[in-house]
A and B are shown apart, each in its own frame.
Chain A
Amino acid sequence: MFGMNRSRSKPARYGLLSLLRGGFNGQRHWTPILNEPETPDRHYDVVIIGGGGHGLATAHYLAANHGITRVCVIERGWIGGGNTGRNTTVIRSNYFFPESAALYDLSLRLYEGLSRALEYNIMFSQRGMWMLAHDRHGMEMLHRSASAMLLNGVDAELHDGAGVRGRIPGLNPAPRFPIVGGLLQPRGGTARHDAVAWAYARAASRAGVHVLQNTEVTGLAQAGGRVVGVKTSRGDLSCDRVVAAVAGHSSVLANMAGLRLPIQSFALQAFVSEPVKPCLDTVLLSPATGIYLSQSDKGEIVLGAGLDLFISYAQRGSLPMMEQAAAGAIELFPQFSRLRFLRQWAGICDVVHDSSPILDESELAGLHFNCGWGTGGFKAIPAGGWLTAHHVATGEAHAIARPFGFSRFPTGAMIDEAAASGIAH
C-alpha cells in the first residue's frame, strides 16, 4: 500500500472526549502526528522541500484537494522550525491592490475555518489588527487604504484618534508621534504559529504524505530539461515535480538548479516580554516607530520591527534592533517600560523588491517555487499551500496566483503594496 503508514496504530482523534479518556489511561493513547517512514520511497509524485507552513500546507492541499498523496516533505531541521515557528503570527488581509487582497483574503478565510477543517486548534484569535496614522498624510493614506479594502471585499473600519484610544486602552496619551487615527481590520488577529505547521503536518500525514525531518536537500537531479529528483543527506529520491518552499533559503535552492532569483535574504527579528496578565487585546502597528505588537495567549508582549539592513543567514538578533523595538513599545505604551524582555530571535526572510510572493513554476520545468513571502507569509500559509498545490496538480497557475509569477520582473508589473499604500508587510 503506497504512502500508508506501516507501523502506526490508528491515529488518535482530537477533542475533549479523547482528553477525558486520556485522564484515565495516563494520556497514553496519543499517536504520532507525523508519518515518518524509516526509509523513504524511491519515487514520489511530488517532493516538497521545506517543512514550514507553506510546504506542509502544499502537501495537505495536494492530498485534500487533488488526491495526490505520493508526496514527501523534506525538512532540513524540524518541521515548523524556520520562519513559521519564529514569526510574530499576525494574520490580516488589509491589502491595497485587488491582486493582493484576493490572495490574502483567501488565506484569511481559510484560516477562519482551519481549526475545524484540520481538527487542530490553531488558536486563531481575531482580535483585530490596527494600523495607526500619526499625521495628516498618514491619515490620507489610511483613507485610501480603507476604501481600497472595502472595494476589495475586505472588512475595514477607519477611526479618528479618539476612536483609536477608546478601543485600545492604555495607549500613550502624550506620544511623541501623535495618534491621529487608525485603520482596523476586525477580522485580523494572531494564531499559534507552531500549531499551524503541526496541524497541516498531521493532516497531510493522515492522508499518507511522508515527512522526512533532519534531512537536507543538497542537490536537484535534472534530465531532459526537467527536474526529476532530489539529492538529500539521506540519499536520492526521484520524483515528477519538486516544490521549493524554503523561505530564506530560496536562493540557495535555486542555485542547485543553476537559477538566480530576484530574492535577498534578510533577518527579521522578534522580541517577547515576560508573560503578564491580559493588557493588550489587539494587534497594533505604528508606522512612525516601525514596530508592531500584540499579546500572546501565554501573556507575553510580542514585538516585531523592521528587517535587518544587510543580508544574512544567521538566525539571530542584534542589540540595535532590540533598542528600536524597546523605544517603539514605550512610545505606544509607556507603562511597558518596566516589563522585561525575555527573548529575542530572528528568522531569515526571502525578500523580493515588491515584497510580494513568487508562486510559480521556474525555468526548470517541474520545479515550483513558493517563496518571496518576506516578512509576511505566515498569514498566507493556507493560500500559499492551496495555490501551489493547484499549480502542481493541474499544471496551471490558479487565477489568484497568476499575478505573482516570475514574469512580473521582466514586464515590471510589480505588486508593491508598501509603495502604494505606505503599509509595509
Chain B
Amino acid sequence: MTSLRLDAGGSMIDRARPLQFRWGRTRLAGLAGDTLASALMANGESVFARSFKYHRPRGLLAAGLEEPNAIVQWQEGRLTSPNLKATTLELHDGLIAAPVNAWPSPQFDLLAANGWIKRFIPAAFYYKTFIWPHWHLFEPAIRRAAGLGLAPVHPDPDSYAQHVDQVDCLVVGAGLAGLQEAASLARQGKKVILAESDPWPGGAIFGPAHDTERAQANRLAAELSACPNVRVLLRTTVLALQDDGLVTMLERLTDHLPVAQRQGPRHRLWKLRARDLVLATGAHERPLVFDGNDRPGVMLASAAGQLLERQAVSPGRRLVLAANNDRAWDAALALAMAGLGVAGIMDARTAADPARVAVATVLGIRMEFETVPWRARGSRHITAVETARIIAGGAARPTGTAIACDTLLMSGGYSPVVHLHGQAGGQLVWHDGVQAFLPVPGALPCRMVGAAAGDGLGHVRPVWHISADPRRPSAKAFVDFQNDVTAADVALARSESFRAVEHLKRYTTLGMATDQGKTSNINGLAIMGGLAGLSPDTVGTTRFRPPYEPAPIGAFAGHRVGQLLRPVRRLPAHAAHASLGARFEEYGLWERPSCYPKAGETEADAVFREAAAVRAGVGLFDASPLGKIEVKGPDAANFLDRIYVGRVSTLRPGGCRYGLILNEHGIILDDGIVARIADDHFLVGTTSSNARIVHQHLEEWLQCEWPQLLVAIADVTQQWAVMNVAGPNARRLLEGLACDIDLDGAAFAHLGHREGHVEGVPCRMQRVSYTGELSFELAVPSRFALALHARLLACGADLGIVPFGIEAMMVLRTEKGFLHLGSDTDGTTFPDDVGFGAPVRLRKDDFIGRRSCLMPEAMRPDRRQLVGLQSVDGTLLPIGGHVLGKGQDRQSQGWVTSSVNSPALGRAVALAMVCAGRSRHGEEVVVWNRGGTQRARIVSPVAFDPKGERMHG
C-alpha cells in the first residue's frame, strides 16, 4: 500500500462529493472527478490485473487510453462490458468493476504458474509444439487461457445513435495546441468542432513549471465554450480517418453517469466531414525496457504527473525517476513540490535542462546522469531500483547500487500520436532529436500541431533496452506489457527470420493487444533495428489500422438492429390478409401470406385445400409485389427487343406475352409478362424479388449502351396493387363488379391487356395465368388495394371464393410445369435449359445474352434440362434431392427443384433439372437425398392440363 491521495490539489476532483464503488468484491470510495484508476490508486491498490500470458501482477502504467495493464470488466449482468481500461472509466456512484484475466484475484492468481514455466514458453512457442499427438487435444485449454474479459451473455440493453455532419474545421485533441488552434479558427468565424477523448480539456499539462500554459488552456477552454460557432465534444474519441477525409468519432454519452441517471443512447457515432482537419493528438510516453519494468509501482512519468494534477493522487511516497528527456522531469519535480519524497532522478543523458536541474537541486533531489535503471527489485511491488551506467556501444554496466523506492517513474521518450495521419495514408519520417516518427505534412486533408507534430518533446537520448550485451536483450524486460512480449522475444523473432516489423508483430504478438501497441510498438521496432544495425526509419512501422481505440460493435450497428435491420415490407392489403387468418412469411423482400389455415388445419392441409379450390371454383391471390416497370418512348419497342429473348415489337397494343430476360452471360435474369399498352408504351412485369434488379438492368443498358434510344423507364411496382382472380369461375366473379372492360373471352382473350375502371377505380387488367386456370390480374392504385380485395371477396362469396397464399400458388404452377425463378433456375441456367432454346435460335438479331447462348458450354447437349419427375410410388420427392442413374454410379445428374402434392392429380408432382433430361422422358432414375433413395420416372414437366385448355377458357 504505497499510493495515496494528497490533502490538497487535484484540478478535477470534488472532495465534497464522495462516490461509492466496487472493485471485485471490495467496496471502496472515491471522489467525483476520479477515474477508476485514480480512485483505486487513492485507495492504495497497486495490483490492477494479471498479464495475458504469464499472469504476472501488473499495476498502472499509463494515464490514458494507451494503458496496457489496467484492463477491467466493467459493470455486471446486462450492462457488463469486457476489457475496458481503468484509466478511461470515470468513477460514478455504484460503479462496479473487476479485474480480468485473474482468478481468483489479481493478488493471488492460479495461472501465475505460467510465470514459473516462462523460460520454456517464449514468443510463438505454440507453433513449435502441440503437434503430437494432435493439436485438438491441447486447443481447448489454450483457448480457455486466452481472452481477457468475458463476453456479455445478455442482449445489449443500450441503444446507439449515429450522426452525420459537416463542419468547416475539426480539431482533434483539446490539449493546449488543440485549444489554440480551435480558438484561432473560431475567431475567423469558422464552424468548428473540437473533439477530446478525455472528459476534460487541457491535455497533459502538469506540474508547477507550467502555470502559464495551464492558465492559458483554461482561458481558451472558457472562450471556446462560449463561442456559438464552436462545439466542444468531450468524451469523444476520433476512431478513424478514412476515404475522402471521412472522420468517425465516438461520443460517450452516458457511461460516466450512475446507472439510474442514464437516459437515451449510450454512445453517438459521428460521421463527419471537415474541410479543415487539425490533429492535435499529443504524444504517448514510452516505457524504458529493463528487467522488472513491469513490476507494479513502475509507471510512466507522465501518468504520475497527470494523476497528481487532476486527482491529487500519488503512486507512492518514495519515488525515483528514470528518464532520457527533460519533459519527464516535470512529473518528479511536481511530486517533490507536492511534498512527496523523490529519492533520485537518473537520466540517460550527460546533462539535462539547467532550469529543471536547478529546481531539483533546490528540492535536494539526488541526480545521476548517464544512468539508467538496471533492475526493479520486488515481487508484488517494486522495493528498490538498481542502477546501471551506459557505456560504449550501448551496453549497460550495473553500478552495484540500488535506490530504495516504492515507485519508479520512467520515461523513454515520446511517440507522437500519428495514428489518424497514418490511417489516411500519411507518410512518417524518423526524427533523431526527439527519437520518434513525425508526420510528413503532405497531400492529406489534415494538419498536425503540438506534440503530435513533435513540438516540445525536447531532445531524447535513445535507450531502447537495457542489458549488459546489447545483442542479447533480456527476457525479463518487457516491451509489450499486455501481451507479455519481452526484449528477448524480439531477438528471438529476429534470429528466426522474423525481422520485418509486421513479422515481429505477428510472430511475437507485439502490438496486437487491446492497446494496439501504443506504448510498445516503437520500442519493439527500435530494438529490432538495433539488433540489425538499422535505424527505426529503415525498419518502419506497422500499418495503422482503425479504430484508434476499440469501440463497441453496437455503435457501428447503430439503429440497424432487431426489426430495423431490414424493415419488413408489407402488402397494401396486409390488414385484409391478417383478418382472414393468413400465415405470413417473408418471401424475398416482402412479407406475404403463405396460406390461410382454418382452425385445426395444418399448413399442408390449408395449401391442399386452397389449391384444390382454385381448380374447382375461384381463388383470390395478392400479387402486388410483382414488379411493374413502365417503358415508354418512340424507341421503346426497339429497346425491349434488345432486352427480351423473344421479340416484343411484334406484340400488338392490348396484348401481352411471357418473356425471359437474360444477363449478358446468357443466364436467365428474370421472367415475366410484358404488355404493350400503346405503340410506344410497354409495361414490363418482373418477379417479385427482381423488380429493382430488372429496373436497374434496363436503365444500365439504356443509359450506358444505347443512350441514343428515346426511351423513358419508371419502376411503378409500389404504385399498383395487384389482385389475381383465378379459377373456372373467375369471369363470373368479375362480372359481378362494376367494370368498363369487356370481359368476354372473345373480346379479351388469354394474354390480353386492358385498361379501364373497376368499381370506379382505374384498373389495368391482364389475362395471364400462373395457375393454369382462367385468370385475371387486376392492378389498381395501391390505395385501393383493401377496397378491391374486399369487393372481390364479397362478390365471390356466392361462388365460394377462397383466398390462397404463395404455397398453393406453388402447387398450382408446379402442376403446370411453370418456371419459378430461383427454384427451377439458378445462376447457371440458360434459356435452352428450361425449354426456351427455340426463341434464341430463331432470332437472328441481337439481344442481351444471345451471344453467350451460342458458346460451346451453353450448347452442350448433356446440360441439365427442366423435366418433370414422377415418383414411382406416387409419394413426394424431396426438393434438393439429387438425380442419379439406376446403376451404382453416384455421380449427380441433377436435382429436384420443385415438388408438391397435387390435389388435382391425387399424387405428388415434381420438377427437376436433369442432364439431357428432355431426351430421357420415360427413363427411370433414382432420387438420392442424404442417403435415402426413391425411384422416379422422368416425365414432361407439364403434369396437369397439358394442352393448356383451362386458362384459355
In the bound complex, what is the Cα–Cα distance between A128 and B79 (angstroms)?
31
Contact status of A121 and B128, CB under 8 A, knowing A318-B242, A323-B558: yes
Question: Which residue of A is nearest B139, CB measured?
Answer: A125
CB of A276 within 8 A of CB of B553, answer: no
In the bound complex, what is the Cα–Cα distance between A334 and B156 (angstroms)?
7
Residues of A with C-beta under 8 A to B129: 14-16, 19, 121
CB of A137 within 8 A of CB of B823, answer: yes
Residues of B with C-beta under 8 A to A325: 556
A420 within 8 A of B: yes
A81 within 8 A of B: yes
In the bound complex, what is the Cα–Cα distance between A345 and B884 (angstroms)?
45
A222 within 8 A of B: no
Question: Which residue of B is nearest A120, CB measured?
Answer: B127
Q: Mark A269-303, 1 if CB is under 8 A from B, else 0.
A: 00001111111000000000100000001110100
Partner of A326, one of B131, B132, B553, B890: B553
Residues of B with C-beta under 8 A to A148: 882, 892, 895
Question: Which residue of B is nearest A79, CB measured?
Answer: B503
Min Cβ gap A294→B in Å is 12
CB of A23 within 8 A of CB of B120, answer: yes
Residues of B with C-beta under 8 A to A30: 492, 495-496
CB of B135 within 8 A of CB of A274, answer: no
Q: Would you list which residues of chain B between 807 and 822 have a CB under 8 Å from chain A?
A: 822
Most chain B beta-carbon neighbours within 10 Å: one of A146, A289, A325, A337: A337
CB of B551 within 8 A of CB of A341, answer: yes
Q: Would you list which residues of chain A between 23 and 48 have a CB under 8 Å from chain B?
A: 23-24, 26-28, 30-34, 36
CB of A125 within 8 A of CB of B135, answer: yes
Contact status of A81 and B502, CB under 8 A, knowing A323-B557, A327-B565, A416-B828: yes
B442 within 8 A of A: no
In the bound complex, what is the Cα–Cα distance between A318 and B509 (angstroms)?
24
CB of B131 within 8 A of CB of A345, answer: no
B89 within 8 A of A: no
Min Cβ gap B409→A in Å is 29
Q: Mark B545-560, 1 if CB is under 8 A from A, else 0.
A: 1110011111111101
CB of B828 within 8 A of CB of A419, answer: yes
Residues of A with C-beta under 8 A to B826: 419-422
Q: Would you list which residues of chain A between 337 and 351 have a CB under 8 Å from chain B?
A: 337-345
Partner of A198, one of B127, B554, B555: B127
Min Cβ gap B312→A in Å is 31
Q: Mark A95-123, 1 if CB is under 8 A from B, else 0.
A: 00010000000000000000110011111
CB of A299 within 8 A of CB of B128, answer: no
Q: Would you list which residues of chain A between 343 and 402 have a CB under 8 Å from chain B?
A: 343-345, 353
A232 within 8 A of B: no
A217 within 8 A of B: no
B146 within 8 A of A: yes
Partner of A135, one of B242, B560, B587: B587
Min Cβ gap A420→B in Å is 5
CB of B143 within 8 A of CB of A140, answer: no
CB of A31 within 8 A of CB of B667, answer: no
Contact status of A411 and B855, CB under 8 A, knowing A116-B132, A213-B500, A319-B242: yes
CB of B488 within 8 A of CB of A27, answer: yes
Q: Would you list which residues of chain A between 136 and 174 have a CB under 8 Å from chain B?
A: 136-137, 140-148, 150-151, 156, 158, 170, 172
Residues of A with C-beta under 8 A to B665: 353
Contact status of A343 and B150, CB under 8 A, knowing A34-B497, A337-B561: no
Contact status of A327 and B561, CB under 8 A, knowing A123-B139, A413-B857: yes
In the bound complex, what is the Cα–Cα distance between A113 and B637 (angstroms)?
62
Min Cβ gap A301→B in Å is 8
Min Cβ gap A353→B in Å is 8
CB of A338 within 8 A of CB of B545, answer: no
B881 within 8 A of A: yes
A179 within 8 A of B: no
CB of A337 within 8 A of CB of B503, answer: no
CB of B131 within 8 A of CB of A341, answer: no
Contact status of A318 and B856, CB under 8 A, knowing A274-B83, A297-B142, A342-B514: no
Question: Which residue of A is nearest B513, CB measured?
Answer: A275
CB of A330 within 8 A of CB of B561, answer: yes
B891 within 8 A of A: yes
B25 within 8 A of A: no
Partner of B128, one of A18, A145, A277, A341: A18
A203 within 8 A of B: no
Residues of B with C-beta under 8 A to A416: 827-828
In the bound complex, what is the Cα–Cα distance between A22 and B158 (angstroms)?
50
Min Cβ gap B149→A in Å is 6
Partner of B827, one of A156, A340, A420: A420
Residues of B with C-beta under 8 A to A135: 585-587
A244 within 8 A of B: no
A418 within 8 A of B: yes
B852 within 8 A of A: yes
B220 within 8 A of A: no
CB of A412 within 8 A of CB of B852, answer: yes
In the bound complex, what is the Cα–Cα distance between A19 and B556 (angstroms)?
43
Most chain A beta-carbon neighbours within 10 Å: one of B82, B148, B502, B509: B82
CB of B240 within 8 A of CB of A343, answer: no
A10 within 8 A of B: no
Residues of A with C-beta under 8 A to B887: none
B398 within 8 A of A: no
A212 within 8 A of B: no
A195 within 8 A of B: yes
B516 within 8 A of A: yes
In the bound complex, what is the Cα–Cα distance between A372 and B856 (angstroms)?
23
Stretch of B623-631, B649-657, B925-933 that contacts chain A: B925-933
Partner of B892, one of A81, A151, A345: A151
Residues of A with C-beta under 8 A to B130: 121
CB of A340 within 8 A of CB of B144, answer: no
CB of A275 within 8 A of CB of B506, answer: no
B600 within 8 A of A: no
Question: Which residue of B is nearest A192, CB measured?
Answer: B127
In the bound complex, what is the Cα–Cα distance between A136 and B823 (angstroms)?
11
CB of B828 within 8 A of CB of A420, answer: yes
In the bound complex, what is the Cα–Cα distance between A192 and B512 (angstroms)?
15
CB of A32 within 8 A of CB of B828, answer: no
Min Cβ gap B746→A in Å is 40
B125 within 8 A of A: yes
In the bound complex, what is the Cα–Cα distance between A342 and B554 (angstroms)?
13
In the bound complex, what is the Cα–Cα distance between A136 and B552 (angstroms)?
34
In the bound complex, what is the Cα–Cα distance between A407 and B497 (angstroms)?
40
Sampled A-B contacts (30; CB under 8 Å): A15-B131, A28-B495, A31-B496, A36-B497, A81-B502, A137-B822, A137-B823, A140-B880, A141-B880, A147-B929, A151-B882, A176-B562, A213-B500, A214-B500, A276-B82, A277-B144, A277-B148, A316-B242, A318-B242, A319-B242, A327-B557, A327-B558, A330-B553, A335-B152, A337-B152, A338-B156, A345-B543, A353-B665, A412-B855, A414-B828
Instruction: List 9 A-B pairs, minimum CB-CB distance, nearest first.
Output: A419-B827, A143-B880, A299-B147, A337-B156, A337-B554, A412-B857, A326-B556, A412-B855, A334-B155
Spell out B's residues near A (CB within 8 Å): 80-83, 117, 119-122, 125-132, 135-136, 139, 142-144, 146-156, 158, 160, 240, 242-243, 246, 248, 271, 423, 425, 472, 475, 488, 492, 495-497, 500, 502-503, 506-507, 509, 512, 514, 516, 543, 545-547, 550-558, 560-563, 565-566, 585-587, 665-667, 822-823, 826-828, 852, 855-858, 878-882, 884, 890-892, 895, 928-931
Spell out A's residues near B (CB within 8 Å): 14-16, 18-20, 22-24, 26-28, 30-34, 36, 77-78, 80-81, 85, 98, 115-116, 119-126, 135-137, 140-148, 150-151, 156, 158, 170, 172, 176-177, 192, 194-195, 198-199, 213-214, 273-279, 289, 297-299, 301, 314-319, 322-323, 325-327, 329-331, 334-345, 353, 410-414, 416, 418-422
Given A19-B129, A176-B565, A419-B828, 14 more pairs with CB closer than 8 A: A19-B121, A36-B497, A78-B502, A125-B136, A126-B136, A275-B83, A316-B425, A327-B558, A335-B155, A337-B554, A338-B82, A340-B83, A413-B856, A414-B828
